[in-house]
Structure 1
Amino acid sequence: MKSFDLTGNPTPILTVSELNQQARDCLENNFARIEVEGEISDLLQHRSGHWYFTLKDKQSQLRCAMFKFQNKTVRFQPEDGQQVQLKGKLSLYAPRGNYQFIVERMQPAGSGQLQQAFDALKIRLAQQGWFDTDNKQALPTLAKQVVIITSPQGAAIRDMQTTFARRFAGIRLVVIPVPVQGDGAAEAISEAIAKANQWAKTSDQSKPLLSVGQKKEVLAPEAIIIGRGGGSLEDLWAFNELVVAQAIHESALPIVSAVGHETDTTIADLVADVRAATPTAAAELLSPDKAALQQQFASFSDQLKRQLNYRLNDAQSLLKGLARRVKHPSHQLNQQVQRVDQLDNQLFRSVNQTLSKKRQLLEQLQQRLMVSSPAETIQHQQVDTQNLYQRLSLAINHSLHRRQLEWQRLVETLNVVSPLATLNRGYSIVTATSGDILRSHTSVIKGDEINAKLADGDLQCVVVSSTEQKQK
């Protein structure tokens, strides 16, 4: 069917669907990337994930739709009566012919000014070098006390306390409660940071005490965590204030910033020594994994045992080699005793042989005397006999003296190697109760009874300690 305009020219007749389609194309082409501000009302969060609501001011209202894949980027929970800024395009819902606004981005009203203030402060502090890695402090490997600055009612404090308890319960947590949004929040956070630093600087005698069960411990924090849960730019604004940034920058204690979710970035995150994606991640940065530490200690223990066994085996091998090279004094003593016995036998035989020869000579002389009986001869023979007797006596005495000197020399040699002479010089022979001689301090342990033989008696002793002699 055709219609005619005033000039008589035919114009096409559109269906309702065609008209709505052309109207939608016209709206979307001419009203794309529009920003509008108003109040939310009649908010419907459909189970499909899409949001439907009305944006209104005092004179007008506008139906809006924000689809699932777009509203995932919204960092706050919208509510009826909330002022918001929307960015999107005008469209038309063809099945009903309803005029609507398709929302692509949503943020609380006034966040545009906040974003400008954020960007300006960020540029200013970056130019001053507050974000430089050279100004960052390293976190302690194993802190004994950690200060947490956050709201005592939020989920963030519970997450951090649970994480510390799970990973390493020995770390003491000191919570300084502060408001994390609203008027006065930034000043409270900066004052809490200053207070924690003051505790760390105070001398041990003047430091306040921390109650831990029935005990009192000195309050000496080693690190600080500041943080809160996620929220809009307005909710997180206290952590974008200059007073907080300055307190973090001037802190002598290392600070971990755990503000919001991983997608949230604040000035505090940039100035802090370490930024954690979440409060839980901040707790993990300052609490070592107990299971990993136990495994590491077990590995170190195994390495130490292997090294000790290796060195012990080397020492035992060296000791055995030295033992084979060193002869016991008893061996040399036995040889000297045998030598003395041998010399004694030789001396006895020599004396007996000499006496026997002299006796034989005397008998011969007596026989010759008896044969020649003249008195003069007898007298001469008596004189000769007397001379011979004197010579014999001198020879015997000389031989005995020489043998005695040799005997004395051997006795002195024997005394040098004798254990008794060693004892006279201040040494002792130490034996176990079983009678075995102790040659190493490792043969006894504390409390064992031992015997010490001295030159003039024995001592009964008890081991108090055992110390290895250092090699010089």
Structure 2
Amino acid sequence: MLTSDIFTSSTDRDVLSVSQLNRRAKQLLETHLPLLWVEGELSNVSQPSSGHWYFTLKDDQAQVRCAMFRNRNTLVRFAPRQGQQVLLRARVSLYEGRGDYQLIVEHMEEAGFGALQRAFEALKAKLAAEGLFDEIHKQPLPSLPKHIAVITSPTGAAIRDVLSVLKRRFPAIPVTVIPVAVQGKEAAPQIVRAIEVANRAGLFDVLVLARGGGSLEDLWPFNEETVARAIFASELPLVSAVGHEIDFTIADFVADLRAPTPSAAAELLVPDAEDWLETFAGYEILLQEAIERKLHLLSQRLEWLRTRLRHPGERLQQQAQRLDGLELRLVRAVDHQLLRCHTRLNTLMLRQKPLQPGLRIQQLNQQIAQHHAALQKNIQRHLRMQQQRLAEAVRLLQTVSPLSTLQRGYAIVSDPQQRVITSSRQVTPGDSINARLAEGELQCRVEKILP
């Protein structure tokens, strides 16, 4: 085969430039692939001063370059970060300058359940590090509550379960329902407010935060940081009864006790009235037996005292004699104490005479006057020194002042723009110049320039 058979002439080929090739590839991608959704992990996130975002979206097997321009990324409600799982709505394109295949992103959001789960784990780690989950902060529950407050939805199944169990086990305990939303954006602020109101009311001795089961999104108000901190700040013990037994929320970790269900919370809070009645019946029998034994012992003691009873007159005579003796001792003690006080008073008066506090005050006043005179003298001396230093500084300033030079017959020559002229080369004949003297200023015209 000849070489001429292998290579055809350039006129027989459809030759494209690189830019033409990239432009055709871009048109094919953008016209044949519609706007689509893509999920992946962010990496190489870059945010230059232009305001555009550039990053790579990847999974465990592949990656693709992405660009999100400023007019679209301003609508994103979070700051993208390395390793974040996101869901993108984008169109496929190609960057002609480098021939890079890329996605032009129109919309970005955190990827569903994964985002909530990461937020849950991040908040859990943060609060755990601050010690909000530590057992040392857990408050004991009352053995028999006097008044229970249940914070929950007034129409949900959770409150019906709690009230049913409380009525069955111990109906005498009063229960107050504080109604709140348990799902949606308004739930967390209402729960926080309810906890604060219950603490300020002064009516309750234990709180129950209850809700039925649901998805992670449904239970999210109980994973809010504001709710966790309100539970931690509660001065009343709080039982968390949120969701089913397999559901865990941040509120469960901060609460003083976590109940697997709302019904279980009611079981844990109050004892069974039937058990208490049986216990009281046993105590009644024991009390009756103890009273009978005590009465028998008192009856025996009364009989023994009756045999030893004497006439009360003898006892009164003994007490009268004892009272007379105590009276004499009291009189002698008072006289002795008065004598000691009088002697001590005389001694103190003798010690006081040489002290003469008036003389001491006079001496102190003289010292104050001397110190005042010395202070005035030091102030005057300091002022004279400062005046001398000021006069010396003025003299030195006048020595270096250009005005002093003018006084000796010199002048400062400048052009109309007030630029100082130091050389004849800066002017030409006919130019106007100014000459500043020690007194006044001259406007001159250059007639001739001498070498």
TM range, smaller chain: 0.3 to 0.5
Larger Cα-atom Rg: 1
When you count helix as a share of all residues, which structure comes out higher? 2
TM-score by length of 2: 0.43
TM-score by length of 1: 0.41
